[in-house]
């Protein structure tokens, strides 16, 4: 082979290798996009988002019709005086049940739903690979957590501004900030709530990798959430409370202080990250060793 032919072969090989990278990148983006369409294309997902959007509406109408704050304390007691608190109050009321339920439904169905339909085997044998597929599932779940939270945020913003007066925001520390500052803090609260749900989403992803029955995965994930809630409510178990998933969930309220308290917020984010790492790793170990023959 002449030197010129060898050089041509080397250049052709380099060109072929370079062409693989964009193709792999496009395939990864297509996989992520496919997972997002799959999650948000399900009827139960859309129904769940509709229920979440109705939470601020129902709270706002109830307070407006009553003509008072109903003698409630906390954020709900502030809604009649400032509609901005409808956002925070709705997020706070959704954390114990509505948002976790939505996350358990979507995460429990993430892998088990594919297995029940018989499409998981095809997806696992596709060029995407098992690790990349699992990553796409987790990314889609993370996006869902953010979207679900923002649905409540946007609904609370609209209903609060329509039904109630808005203005400067009285913080928990007693100081007052502008409406714009209050909106930024409320947006930060929504992001924190979404991040607080990631640990539960990772648990659901792991449980979903263990079964081919979506309802079983949903029930098991929600059962784990209930057990964690019960353990958190038992004072005698205070030694393990800081390690429980939902213990620091209400720390988002510390953004409504002047200055904000970040201690519990950071501990909550680190705790969620720990749960995500542990259960995502467990799901990866399961999915990469799963027999699909």
Domain with 72 in it: 18-288
Strand partners, 177: 169
Q: What is the pLDDT of residues 59-80, one digit of tens each?
A: 999 999 987 654 556 677 789 8
Do the domain assignments include residue 7?
Answer: no
**Which pLDDT score, from 0 to 100, does residue 62 have?**
92
**Are the CB atoms for 39 and 140 separated by under 8 Å?**
yes
| Number of domains the chain is built from | 1
Do the domain assignments include residue 192?
Answer: yes
Tokens at residue 166, please? Answer: 């808005």
Q: Which residues of the chain have pLDDT under 70?
A: 1-25, 27, 68-74, 114-128, 290-293
Tokens at residue 15, please? Answer: 């060109």
Do the domain assignments include residue 233?
Answer: yes
**Are the CB atoms for 254 and 261 separated by under 8 Å?**
yes
Do the domain assignments include residue 1?
Answer: no
Do the domain assignments include residue 293?
Answer: no
Nearest to residue 290, comparing CAs of 117, 108, 111, 135? 111
**Are the CB atoms for 212 and 287 separated by under 8 Å?**
no
| b/e 30-57 (16+ beta carbons within 10 angstroms → b) | ebbeebbebbeeeeebeebbeebbbbbb
């Amino acid at each position: 082979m002449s030197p010129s032919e060898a050089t041509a072969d080397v250049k052709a090989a380099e060109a072929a290798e370079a062409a693989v990278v964009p193709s792999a990148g496009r395939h990864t983006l297509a996989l992520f996009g496919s997972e997002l369409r799959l999650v948000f294309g399900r009827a139960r997902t859309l129904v769940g988002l509709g229920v979440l959007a109705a939470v601020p509406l129902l709270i706002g109408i109830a307070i407006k019709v009553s003509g008072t704050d109903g003698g409630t304390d906390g954020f709900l007691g502030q809604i009649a005086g400032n509609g901005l608190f409808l956002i925070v109050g709705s997020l706070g009321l959704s954390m114990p049940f509505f948002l976790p339920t939505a996350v358990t439904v979507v995460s429990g169905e993430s892998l088990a739903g594919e297995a029940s339909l018989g499409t998981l085997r095809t997806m696992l044998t596709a060029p995407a690979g098992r690790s990349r597929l699992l990553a796409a599932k987790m990314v889609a779940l993370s996006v869902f957590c953010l979207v679900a939270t923002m649905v409540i945020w946007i609904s609370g913003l609209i209903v609060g501004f329509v039904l109630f007066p808005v203005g400067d925001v009285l913080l928990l520390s007693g100081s007052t900030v502008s409406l714009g500052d209050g909106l930024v803090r409320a947006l930060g609260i929504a992001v924190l709530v979404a991040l607080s749900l990631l640990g539960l989403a990772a648990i659901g992803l792991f449980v979903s990798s263990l079964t081919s029955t979506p309802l079983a995965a949903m029930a098991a994930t929600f059962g784990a959430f209930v057990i964690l809630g019960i353990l958190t409510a038992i004072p005698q178990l205070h030694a393990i409370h800081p390690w429980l998933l939902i213990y620091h969930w209400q720390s988002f309220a510390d953004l409504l202080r002047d200055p904000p308290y970040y201690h519990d917020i950071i501990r909550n984010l680190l705790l969620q990250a720990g749960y995500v790492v542990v259960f995502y790793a467990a799901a990866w170990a399961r999915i990469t060793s799963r027999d699909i023959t």
